Structure formats: structure tokens, C-alpha cells
């Protein structure tokens, strides 16, 4: 059973959907685009998707140099940093 606080991952009917989204969005161009969509559309779902991907994939898997480059270019670096900071440590 997987659980994360603050509306993150949890076991249930949405678990598989979120896991598949995490796999799809973990590709760096998709990740930076998702942060951009979160800023433009101001939809909580986009922010949650980015947050869940980062929480599941972890810092070791994601290409942060690429993601930071494009988020800076899109003007979304501050949003990305706030999303990353909102993720509680998972034990």
C-alpha cells in the first residue's frame, strides 16, 4: 500500500492513473511543459501531476539541468521550485 500525505499518492482507483501519468510526464520535455501549463491554466490538476511525478521519480531520475533550463526559458522556474519544496520526504 502506498500513501503520501497532502493529497499526493495513495492506494486506490486513481493510483494506476497517477502512476502512468508519472511515467509519461517524467520525460524532461513533458515535465517542463506541464509546469508551463500549470502556470498558464492555473489548474490544480497540472500542479498535482508535476508534484506526483517528482515525488515518484525522485531527484536521481529526472534530468534537472534540462528541466531547469526550459522552466527558466518559460518563466516557470519559481513555480517548479515551489512545487518541489511542497513535497514532503517519503520514508
Question: pLDDT tens digit string along 11-70?
Answer: 455 555 555 555 544 456 677 888 888 898 888 888 988 898 888 887 788 889 988 998
C-alpha–C-alpha distance, residues 59 and 69, integer Å: 16
Tell me what pLDDT residue 62 has. 85
C-alpha–C-alpha distance, residues 78 and 90, integer Å: 23
- Alpha carbon 43 to its chain centroid, in Å, reads 13
Confidence of residue 77 (pLDDT cuts 50, 70, 90): very high
C-alpha–C-alpha distance, residues 75 and 91, integer Å: 32
Amino acid at each position: 500500500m502506498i500513501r503520501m500525505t497532502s493529497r499526493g499518492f495513495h492506494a486506490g482507483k486513481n493510483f494506476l492513473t497517477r502512476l502512468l501519468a508519472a511515467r509519461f510526464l517524467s520525460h524532461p520535455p513533458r515535465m517542463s511543459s506541464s509546469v508551463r501549463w500549470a502556470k498558464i491554466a492555473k489548474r490544480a490538476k497540472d500542479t498535482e501531476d508535476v508534484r506526483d511525478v517528482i515525488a515518484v521519480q525522485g531527484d536521481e531520475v529526472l534530468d534537472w539541468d534540462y528541466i531547469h533550463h526550459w522552466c527558466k526559458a518559460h518563466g516557470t522556474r519559481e513555480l517548479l521550485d515551489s512545487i518541489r519544496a511542497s513535497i514532503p520526504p517519503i520514508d
